């Protein structure tokens, strides 16, 4: 099978399920990571997935408070680091909502860095340009400015990067592949992998157990950490996940605000997996960066002053009091987003501990 048969660029052309089915028929089952990469490349390139008419809602779309507080945390780190020349960088900025709120709050703190967005979707780039026409867009980290400190935010970005899975069989661990019958896609066990690559704490897992790895996320976080170490700066990463290593299948699909089968209709639903924050931190530290967290999203926002901000907004617009209270609850309550979502911070050596992570 050609290496570009399922490339992200090609995945935006034609009927993706048919193309995937044809590629699998000709070349055999493909790694789950390849299936997920092709599906998400097509999905994000062809739609705005956010909001009531989309498939899901993210924290910045729930309330301006989220972006404002993240922006103020970045501005505070920049201030305590000596106010170096800096750029605001967002990975996967959605509609630009978080960036608009963060940069507005940062400006009030005398931090006015130019905005740089790492985004490949033409649909979302258009939405971002409508909010922040002065931004600069990048396909990846390679073209980001290399002569200033970087103030980075990534909210619900790493969960959409492709994962690999290993499944325990009766004779050992196997890579999980995706096969196809007509246009019905299903996971199967592939070739056995060496026992040496399995974390010792998970080696005795029962048959059927699944381990997830995220090579794309590790590659990206290492590249980002190298930038921070070389240039200075800080990154705040917010997502849902856990501290591994751990057993479990976290691959999931969302369509129309409801759970769906992740192997149905590739390219027409959002595929995500829980983020292993321990792996991200270890990858960043391997490049010489300093890390903190993870902390629960609710604890982070409370430490950053969400209650004071909600009260301030309610005083200015009393008719929004109930709306603001509901948004605050959704963002911080342990039974809503407050505990499931977590944050880690990564910074250049010598940069201060970001607010909320002490």
Query: pLDDT, tens digit, for every residue of 170-192?
Result: 999 999 999 998 879 999 999 99
Are residues 280 and 79 in contact, defined by beta-carbon separation less than 8 angstroms? Answer: no
In this predicted structure, the answer to whether residue 110 has a pLDDT above a threshold of 60 is yes
In this predicted structure, the answer to whether residue 2 has a pLDDT above a threshold of 70 is no
Cβ neighbours around 82 below 10 Å, total:
11
What is the pLDDT, as a whole number, of residue 58?
Answer: 97
What is the pLDDT, as a whole number, of residue 6?
Answer: 45
Bridging pattern class, strands 164-169 and 172-181 = antiparallel
Contacts of 143 (CB under 8 A, 6+ apart): none
Q: Within 13 Å of residue 314, how many CA atoms lie on the same side as its CB?
A: 14
Calculate what percentage of the chain has a pLDDT beyond 90. 94
What's the rounded mean pLDDT across residues 151-165?
Answer: 98
pTM: 0.94
Lowest mean pLDDT among 5-14, 61-70, 305-314: 5-14
341: which strand partners?
240
- Confidence band for 28, pLDDT divided at 50, 70 and 90: very high
Kindly list the distances between the CA atom of residue 64 and the CA atoms of 59, 105, 141, 230, in Å, as whole numbers in the listed order.
Answer: 9, 10, 27, 32
What is the pLDDT, as a whole number, of residue 51?
Answer: 87
Annotate 248-296 with DSSP letters as a single string: ----EEEETTEEE-TTSSTTSSEEE--EEHHHHHHHHHHTT-EEEEEEE
In this predicted structure, the answer to whether residue 157 has a pLDDT above a threshold of 80 is yes
Contacts of 234 (CB under 8 A, 6+ apart): 74, 77, 78, 81, 150, 151, 152, 228, 345, 346, 347, 348, 351, 354
What is the pLDDT, as a whole number, of residue 3?
Answer: 35
Residue with tokens 């909320």: 356
Query: What is the C-alpha end-to-end distance of the chain, expressed in Å?
Result: 50
- What's the pLDDT tens digit per position in 41-95? 999 999 999 988 889 999 999 999 999 999 999 999 999 999 999 999 999 999 9
Bridging pattern class, strands 252-255 and 233-242 = unpaired
Are residues 68 and 97 in contact, defined by beta-carbon separation less than 8 angstroms? Answer: no
């Amino acid at each position: 099978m050609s290496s570009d048969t399922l490339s992200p660029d090609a995945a935006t052309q034609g009927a993706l399920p048919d193309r995937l089915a044809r590629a699998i028929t000709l070349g055999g089952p493909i790694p789950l990571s390849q299936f997920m990469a092709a599906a998400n490349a097509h999905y994000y390139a062809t739609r705005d997935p956010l909001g009531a008419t989309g498939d899901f809602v993210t924290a910045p779309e729930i309330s301006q408070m989220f972006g404002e507080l993240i922006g103020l945390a970045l501005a505070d780190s920049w201030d305590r680091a000596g106010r170096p020349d800096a750029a605001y960088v967002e990975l996967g900025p959605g509609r630009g909502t978080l960036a608009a709120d963060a940069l507005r709050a940062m400006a009030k703190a005398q931090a006015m860095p130019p905005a740089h967005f790492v985004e490949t979707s033409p649909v979302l780039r258009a939405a971002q340009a409508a909010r922040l026409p002065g931004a600069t867009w990048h396909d990846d980290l390679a073209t980001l400015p290399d002569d200033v400190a970087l103030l980075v935010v990534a909210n619900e970005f790493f969960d959409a990067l492709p994962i690999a899975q290993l499944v325990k069989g009766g004779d050992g661990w196997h890579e999980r592949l995706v096969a196809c019958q007509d246009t019905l896609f299903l996971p199967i066990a592939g070739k056995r992998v060496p026992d040496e690559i399995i974390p010792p704490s998970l080696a005795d897992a029962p048959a059927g157990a699944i381990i997830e790895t995220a090579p794309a996320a590790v590659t990206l976080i290492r590249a980002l950490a190298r930038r921070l170490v070389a240039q200075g700066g800080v990154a705040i990463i917010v997502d849902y996940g856990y501290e591994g290593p751990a057993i479990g299948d976290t691959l999931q699909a969302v369509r129309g605000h409801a759970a769906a089968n992740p192997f149905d209709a590739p390219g027409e639903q959002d595929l995500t997996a829980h983020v292993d924050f321990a792996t991200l931190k270890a990858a960043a530290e391997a490049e010489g960066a300093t890390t903190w967290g993870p902390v629960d999203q609710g604890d982070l926002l409370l430490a950053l002053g969400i209650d004071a901000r909600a009260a301030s907004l309610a005083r200015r617009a009393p008719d929004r009091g109930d709306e603001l209270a509901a948004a605050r609850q959704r963002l911080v309550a342990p039974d809503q987003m407050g505990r499931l979502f977590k944050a880690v911070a990564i910074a250049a050596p010598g940069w201060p501990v970001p607010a909320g992570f002490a």
